[in-house]
């Protein structure tokens, strides 16, 4: 498998505070990788740097062979690296299918004059987008809600719409910021299944930041643990569970061991 | 005036249906309704005052349409009158100093407004909310002062008078009624253009930026690109209405384009309704005649404006357009 995302020596300081220090890891095509750590560990900062919302102080981000360090999110997403937001972030006043349609506009590059003139190239491109929207509605199970106003749906559905907007941009790698936050156990399990489907059937690699341990341990092939801005461990769920450094970070040092 | 409320709620309820609707349906209702609306003043052709008002309403529709376009991407421009003024001055200077034909003068006016908006937008469109409002307010004032100190080129405080009337294809629009036909045609086209634009994916992406800029940016719609597009195009509308106004009145001065005009445009937009193509039409229709009808009460007029604006923001945040939506909503819920 080829390397899709390569993070090299990534750092971010806010004033005197080092939020992320010298973070390096790789994500291979088709992998599901989880980024975990206690509150304030720098997970979201790392996440925002990768997706382009924050400019790193130092380091390099390579995606699909291209240096995307410091590029704007709208540029990064066109290369196939999409993200979702921590809270349910949708276009509240639009219908579900319009939400997804707006995501699908990512690769729509017909000039305005051609759109106004309704050229045949424009009509073909518009038809293609409609098909993509239908496809994403099917994958995410949102098809029954397509005409509902997004803001009037339950929180779990709104989170799903967030993922659907990301999917509509046709990504190779999807970054998910705490996808399980605020979901009930049932919705959470359903979400886990959706993530597996995305990878297995639609060949989309995933990187997600998460607090929900069951979801992370059950879904991710590789887990990276951040504590105080630094990577302290990396490995499979089993390796992470037995890593002394992780146990120390989460549960505190075992005093007897040092005695 | 509570500026932050306005920028945050910029287009609450802008439920665009570009995707749901089969293209072409709404047109059938819109176009005849507009044509009837624009034909009404022709029945009043006997009274020059009414025709004068009708011309001003048409020019204001174009002017406020531009502001509405900018506002759809989530920015509130407080220097809209400056772009109107730029279009007016540039067109007038071409007509008076270089004797260019009307069409060329107007094109030059629009081009100058667009260029200025592009350059200004490149610098200030990264600002959001109240900061953008403040900078545009300063720019509006700067424009007025530059025109005032412009010496022979702008005519200083005296402005430029004796502007020849508009001439197109050998026809001179020197009567109020003939100019009304021209202004109404232009207003009509500007409305049709906006309806068409907001049916396209481009229009939908502008709305996306207005609704949720971070989400739009994260899904490939550039905030800067969309806002620059709207700012340049919206300012072109302003410049166009300015160029027409100057050739209609035959006179321009720096005070024709001061902050009161920018504020008036915002009031028309807010009262009519943001986030809907109908809003600027309603706003211009209702707010344009008021100052003309209440000339005697000029001192209390601004107070009335302020009160109206506060009441509308408080009770009708969607403007007059919102009344229709509210009534429909109530009917829908048994």
Mean predicted lDDT score pLDDT of chain B: 83
Residue B312 lies in a domain: no
CA gap B249, B272 in Å, rounded: 26
Whether residue B2 is predicted with pLDDT greater than 70 in this model: the reply is: no
Nearest CA in chain A to B193: A116
B55 lies in which domain range? 23-270
Residue B150 lies in a domain: yes
* H-run or E-run covering A258: helix A255-258
Minimal CA separation from A253 to chain B, in Å: 40
Nearest CA in chain B to A147: B20
CA gap B276, A162 in Å, rounded: 26
Check whether residue A198 and residue A236 sit in a common domain: yes
Whether residue B9 is predicted with pLDDT greater than 60 in this model: the reply is: no
* DSSP SS3 for B101: coil
CA gap B254, B282 in Å, rounded: 28
Nearest CA in chain B to A166: B219
Whether residue B130 is predicted with pLDDT greater than 50 in this model: the reply is: yes
Minimal CA separation from A242 to chain B, in Å: 37
| Chain B positions touching chain A (beta carbons under 8 Å) | 12-16, 18-20, 23, 193, 196-197, 200-202, 204-205, 208, 211-212, 214-223, 225, 229
* DSSP line for A124-167: HHHHHHHHHHHHHHHHTT-GGGTTSBGGGS-HHHHHHHHHHHHH
Check whether residue A161 and residue A210 sit in a common domain: no
Query: A residues 133-162 near B, CB within 8 Å?
Result: 133, 147, 149
Check whether residue A96 and residue A154 sit in a common domain: yes
Cβ-based contacts of A106 with chain B (< 8 Å) = 219-221
The band of B186, judged by pLDDT with boundaries at 50, 70 and 90, is very high
Residue B233's pLDDT is 95
**Beta carbons within 10 angstroms of residue A176's beta carbon:** 27
pTM to 2 decimal places:
0.87
* Tokens describing residue A161: 């719409």
pLDDT digits (tens, 9 = 90+) for B67-126: 999 999 999 999 999 999 999 999 999 998 888 889 999 999 999 999 999 999 999 988
Check whether residue A75 and residue A176 sit in a common domain: yes
Check whether residue A28 and residue A110 sit in a common domain: no
For chain A, list residues with pLDDT below 50. Answer: 257-259
A91 in reach of chain B (CB within 8 A): yes
The band of B308, judged by pLDDT with boundaries at 50, 70 and 90, is confident
The answer to whether residues B273 and B279 touch, using CB atoms and an 8 Å cutoff, is yes
Check whether residue A162 and residue A179 sit in a common domain: no
Check whether residue A100 and residue A76 sit in a common domain: no
- Cross-chain residue pair A105–B220, CB shorter than 8 Å: yes
* DSSP line for A86-115: SS----TTSBHHHHHHHHHGGG----HHHH
* DSSP SS3 for B206: helix
Number of domains in chain B: 1
Cβ-based contacts of A103 with chain B (< 8 Å) = 219-220
Across the range B259-287, mean pLDDT stands at 88
A117 lies in which domain range? 89-170
Give the strand pairing for A58-63 and A17-28: unpaired
Whether residue B138 is predicted with pLDDT greater than 90 in this model: the reply is: yes
The answer to whether residues B6 and B313 touch, using CB atoms and an 8 Å cutoff, is yes
Domain end among A151, A170, A189: A170
Check whether residue A75 and residue A177 sit in a common domain: yes
Minimal CA separation from B13 to chain A, in Å: 6
The band of B322, judged by pLDDT with boundaries at 50, 70 and 90, is confident
Cβ-based contacts of B219 with chain A (< 8 Å) = 77, 82, 102-103, 105-106, 165-166, 168-169
The answer to whether residues A180 and A191 touch, using CB atoms and an 8 Å cutoff, is yes
* Tokens describing residue B34: 């507009």
- Cross-chain residue pair A108–B204, CB shorter than 8 Å: no
CA gap B88, B274 in Å, rounded: 26
* DSSP line for B68-79: HHHHHTT---S-
CA gap B278, B269 in Å, rounded: 10
Residue B35 lies in a domain: yes
- Cross-chain residue pair A116–B215, CB shorter than 8 Å: no
A92 in reach of chain B (CB within 8 A): yes
Instruction: Identify from A93, A121, A126, A158 which residue to disrupt to test chain B contact, counting B C-beta atoms within 10 A and taking the largest count.
Output: A93
CATH number at residue A189: 3.40.50.300
In this predicted complex, what is the ipTM?
Answer: 0.87
A25 in reach of chain B (CB within 8 A): no
pLDDT digits (tens, 9 = 90+) for A58-78: 999 999 888 988 888 988 998
Least reliable range by pLDDT among A52-56, A80-84, B156-160, B325-329: B325-329
Check whether residue A217 and residue A93 sit in a common domain: no
Cβ-based contacts of B222 with chain A (< 8 Å) = 72, 74-75
Of B202, B219, B225, the CB nearest to A106: B219
Domain end among A117, A143, A170: A170
Across the range B135-154, mean pLDDT stands at 89
The proportion of chain B whose per-residue pLDDT surpasses 90, expressed as a percent, equals 40
- Which of B65, B36, B73 shows the shortest CA–CA distance to B196? B65
A86 in reach of chain B (CB within 8 A): no
Query: A residues 54-83 near B, CB within 8 Å?
Result: 72-75, 77-78, 82-83
Minimal CA separation from A10 to chain B, in Å: 21
The band of B329, judged by pLDDT with boundaries at 50, 70 and 90, is low
The band of B182, judged by pLDDT with boundaries at 50, 70 and 90, is very high
- Cross-chain residue pair B205–A102, CB shorter than 8 Å: yes
pLDDT digits (tens, 9 = 90+) for B13-26: 444 444 444 445 66
Check whether residue A176 and residue A69 sit in a common domain: yes
Whether residue B295 is predicted with pLDDT greater than 70 in this model: the reply is: no
Number of domains in chain A: 2
Residue B13 lies in a domain: no
Across the range B263-288, mean pLDDT stands at 87
Of B15, B202, B217, the CB nearest to A112: B202
Instruction: Identify from A91, A95, A123, A150 which residue to disrupt to test chain B contact, counting B C-beta atoms within 10 A and taking the largest count.
Output: A91
Check whether residue A69 and residue A100 sit in a common domain: no
The answer to whether residues B11 and B275 touch, using CB atoms and an 8 Å cutoff, is yes
Rg (CA), chain A: 20
The answer to whether residues A85 and A103 touch, using CB atoms and an 8 Å cutoff, is no
Check whether residue A196 and residue A123 sit in a common domain: no
Across the range B5-12, mean pLDDT stands at 42
Of A72, A82, A118, the CB nearest to B219: A82
Residue B7's pLDDT is 45
Domain end among A153, A170, A187: A170
DSSP state letter for B22: P
pLDDT digits (tens, 9 = 90+) for B276-290: 888 899 889 888 887
Residue B302's pLDDT is 73
Cβ-based contacts of A149 with chain B (< 8 Å) = 15
């Amino acid at each position: 498998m080829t390397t899709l995302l390569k993070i090299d020596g990534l750092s971010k300081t806010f004033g005197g505070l080092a939020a992320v220090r010298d973070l390096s890891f790789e994500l291979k095509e088709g992998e599901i990788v989880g980024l975990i750590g206690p509150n304030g560990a720098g997970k979201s900062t790392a996440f925002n740097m990768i997706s382009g919302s924050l400019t790193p102080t130092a380091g390099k981000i390579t995606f699909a062979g291209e240096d995307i360090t410091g590029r704007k999110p709208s540029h990064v997403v066109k290369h196939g690296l999409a993200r979702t937001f921590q809270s349910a972030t949708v276009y509240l006043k639009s219908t579900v299918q319009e939400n997804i349609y707006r995501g699908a506009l990512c690769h729509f590059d017909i000039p305005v004059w051609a759109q106004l003139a309704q050229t045949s190239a424009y009509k073909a491109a518009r038809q293609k987008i409609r098909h993509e929207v239908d496809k994403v509605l099917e994958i995410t199970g949102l098809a029954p809600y397509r005409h509902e106003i997004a803001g009037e749906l339950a929180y779990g559905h709104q989170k799903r719409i967030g993922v659907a907007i990301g999917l509509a941009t046709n990504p190779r790698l999807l970054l998910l910021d705490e996808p399980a936050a605020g979901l009930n156990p049932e919705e959470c399990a359903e979400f886990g299944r959706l993530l597996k489907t995305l990878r297995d059937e639609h060949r989309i690699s995933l990187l997600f930041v998460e607090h929900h341990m069951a979801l992370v341990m059950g879904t991710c092939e590789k887990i990276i643990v951040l504590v105080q801005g630094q990577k302290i461990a990396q490995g499979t769920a089993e390796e992470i569970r037995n890593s002394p450094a992780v146990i120390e970070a989460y549960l505190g040092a075992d005093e007897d061991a040092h005695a | 005036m509570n500026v932050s409320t306005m920028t945050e709620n910029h287009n609450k309820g802008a439920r665009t249906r570009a995707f749901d609707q089969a293209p072409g349906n709404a047109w059938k209702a819109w176009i005849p309704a507009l044509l009837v609306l624009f034909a009404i003043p022709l029945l009043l052709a006997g009274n020059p005052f009414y025709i004068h008002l009708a011309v001003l309403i048409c020019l204001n529709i174009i002017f406020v349409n531009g502001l509405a376009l900018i506002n759809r991407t989530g920015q509130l421009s407080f220097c809209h009158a400056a772009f109107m003024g730029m279009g007016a001055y540039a067109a007038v200077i071409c007509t008076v100093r270089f004797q260019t034909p009307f069409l060329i003068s107007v094109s030059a006016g629009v081009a100058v407004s667009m260029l200025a908006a592009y350059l200004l937008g490149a610098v200030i469109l990264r600002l959001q909310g109240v900061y953008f409002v403040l900078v545009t307010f300063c720019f509006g004032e700067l424009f007025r002062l530059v025109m005032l100190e412009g010496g022979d080129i702008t005519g200083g405080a005296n402005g430029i008078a004796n502007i020849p009337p508009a001439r197109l294809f050998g026809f001179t629009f020197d009567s109020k009624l003939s100019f009304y036909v021209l202004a109404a045609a232009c207003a009509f086209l500007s409305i049709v253009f906006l309806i068409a634009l907001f049916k396209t994916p481009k229009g939908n992406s502008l709305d996306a930026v207005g609704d949720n800029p971070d989400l739009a940016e994260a899904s490939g719609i550039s905030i800067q690109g969309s806002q620059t597009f709207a700012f340049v195009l919206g300012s072109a509308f302003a410049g166009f209405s300015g160029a027409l106004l100057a050739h209609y009145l035959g006179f321009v001065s720096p005070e024709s384009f001061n902050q009161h005009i920018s504020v008036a445009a915002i009031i028309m937009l807010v009262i009519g309704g943001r986030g809907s193509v109908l809003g600027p039409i309603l706003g211009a229709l209702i707010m344009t005649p008021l100052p003309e009808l209440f000339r005697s009460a000029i001192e209390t007029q601004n107070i009335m404006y302020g009160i109206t604006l506060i009441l509308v923001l408080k009770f009708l945040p969607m403007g007059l357009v919102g009344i229709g939506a509210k009534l429909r909503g109530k009917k829908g819920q048994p």
